[in-house]
Chains A and B, each alone.
Chain A
Amino acid sequence: MGEFEPKIVGFFCNWCTSSAADLAGTSRLQYPANVRPIRVPCSGTVDPVYLLRALREGADGVMIGGCHPGDCHYITGNLKARRRVKIVKTILESLRLPHERVLLAWISASEGAKFQRVVTDFTKRLKEMGPSDLSKKWK
């Protein structure tokens, strides 16, 4: 067995973080291939159940990438995402589960370098945490 490679499910806003991921690619900025990107119309469309389902189905971390507050294409979508992430984190924390596996990041379309940094840091942190037990079922 090689080194543990965490699986990250990323929900990236169409208007910013998805473009930032492309920009990182075209700028040849290397970042870990652990993230599975899902392009969403807005970070505000990501219901908490998607985050929880990813964690239950075996993701070691989930991340939402949205526009900086004030920059949302739909005015307040990213603010909704922020409240939802807070709710999910509070639930996990209350149940003494690792809320650090949920990450919210504001990455605008021009921030290819930030995308690289955030994904690299998150992957590193998840590696340190080890495999997630949130997907544990009855066996």
Chain B
Amino acid sequence: MAKGAWIKKGDPNKSAGWFLAELRRKDLVKGVLAQKEMYPGQGAWHYLLKEPEDIENTKVFIPFMGSSGATAVSKLTKDKPLPEPVAVVLRPCEVRGVVELTKYKQIQLDNLIIISFDCVGAYPRRVYLNNPVDLPEDEDKLRGSCRRCKRFTPNFGDITLTYLGIDEGIMAIPISDRGEELLKSLGLELVDVPEERDKKLAEMEDKRLKEREKEFKAFADEYGGMDGQLKFFGKCINCKNCMENCPICFCKECFFKSPSLTWDAEVYMDMLESKGAVRMPEDPIFFQWGRLAHITPSCIGCGLCTEACPVDIKVGLIFSYVAENVQGAFDYEAGRSLDEAPILMEFREKELEDLAM
């Protein structure tokens, strides 16, 4: 049975804030990366903090996901590993992002203490900003990516925080030896985690898997086939915001920003002559399919692409749906384990033998 430590310092966010601040006060970490609402009404963004008073007011469980914590961690550690311990608080999808980016050598894990939590989900940015709340209490308001999320509990990292099935405060559950040591260094005693949590998690999983299946099927029915695709992406303005906000899209030089996709006047006239119509800005379907080919092998389903879309295309829906099939075809799951090589980093002579003629 899972063991965890009680932290009862008020509501879940306050208890988590106290716990993180305590890590800093005891000098077990030199900094904490967590979501904090610096300006009320502007959303909670990731901050790297050192003062315990600041850390105490972070909001771990806030239903707002502005940017990816995985990207933040990559910025922190890509070039050089952290010289001293820093605790980073991440949603489970962001932890999956960290796992993927580590495999792509965009993150170095040394001195990184990963604290995650049982994540109920986040509201769409606009919904949150219109009516800021501290906890995701209304499941119907959650982002599509959260409603169909099947991995809302971290499987990698050091400590999982949870308030599910718990009446007061939170529980900190160590999921690594280092996590257990940290809790002991804080003088916290490990006891059995209430069974209510498991019950709650099982309930959530059941609901979400059903939602997932339903949404994927509805998507394929409505937007499958070429006419469906034209309908789905017809609004796309080629702003590439989905790409900019994607934690997995890390390349510095991108094919879609390269001169390969710009032509001179003569080429445009040729295209006009042979095709009769040329969309400007250029064909978004090619951009989106190309990105599907590049990203779905490691898509973690965080849904930030949907959040980033200014014309409300459910980019995250098509990506999660296709990713499930692509990853399934190689028995791979993005973020599942550090030991599994990403789909395009491992090649076997004996596989897919029926594919080629």
Contact = CB atoms under 8 A, between A and B. Distances in A.
Contacts of A4: none
Interface residues of A, number: 40
Contact of A88 (B234, B293, B349): B293
B356 A80 contact: no
Given A104-B356, A138-B234, A139-B276, A91 B347 contact: no
B294 A104 contact: no
Contacts of A52: 286, 289-290, 293
A56 B275 CA distance: 12
B280 to A, nearest CB: 11
Q: Considering residues A84, A89, A138, which has the most beta carbons from chain B within 10 angstroms of its beta carbon?
A: A138
B235 to A, nearest CB: 11
A80 B255 CA distance: 19
Interface string B274-296: 11110100010110011011101
Nearest to A70: B349
Given A86-B355, A94-B325, A49 B290 contact: yes
Interface string B292-312: 111011000000000000000
Interface stretch (B16-24, B46-54, B188-196, B222-230): B222-230
Contacts of A53: 286, 290
B1 interface: no
B93 to A, nearest CB: 21
Contact of B296 (A56, A80, A82, A91): A91
Contact of B357 (A58, A91, A118): A118
Contacts of B351: 82
Contact of A138 (B230, B289, B329): B230
Nearest to A133: B226
Contacts of B355: 82, 85-86, 89, 104
Contacts of A32: none
B152 interface: no
Contact of B352 (A70, A86, A97): A86
Given A133-B226, A138-B234, A93 B325 contact: yes
Contact of B277 (A103, A105, A139): A139
Given A91-B289, A97-B226, A76 B357 contact: no
A87 B343 contact: yes
Interface in B211-258: 220, 223-230, 234, 255
B265 interface: no
B356 A105 contact: yes
B253 to A, nearest CB: 13
A90 interface: yes
23 contacts: A48-B290, A49-B293, A52-B289, A76-B347, A80-B347, A82-B351, A82-B356, A87-B329, A88-B293, A90-B325, A90-B329, A91-B289, A94-B220, A95-B224, A95-B322, A96-B220, A96-B228, A97-B225, A103-B357, A106-B356, A133-B226, A136-B226, A138-B279
Interface of A: 47-49, 52-53, 56, 58, 66, 69-70, 76, 79-80, 82-91, 93-97, 103-106, 118, 121, 133-134, 136-139
Interface of B: 220, 223-230, 234, 255, 274-277, 279, 283, 285-286, 289-290, 292-294, 296-297, 318, 321-322, 325-326, 329-330, 343-344, 347-349, 351-352, 355-357
Given A56-B289, A86-B329, A87-B326, 15 more contacts: A52-B289, A56-B283, A56-B285, A70-B349, A76-B347, A85-B356, A86-B330, A87-B343, A91-B293, A94-B220, A94-B325, A95-B223, A97-B226, A134-B226, A136-B227
In the A-B complex, the 9 residue pairs with the closest CB atoms: A96-B224, A48-B293, A79-B347, A49-B290, A105-B357, A104-B356, A56-B286, A94-B325, A133-B226
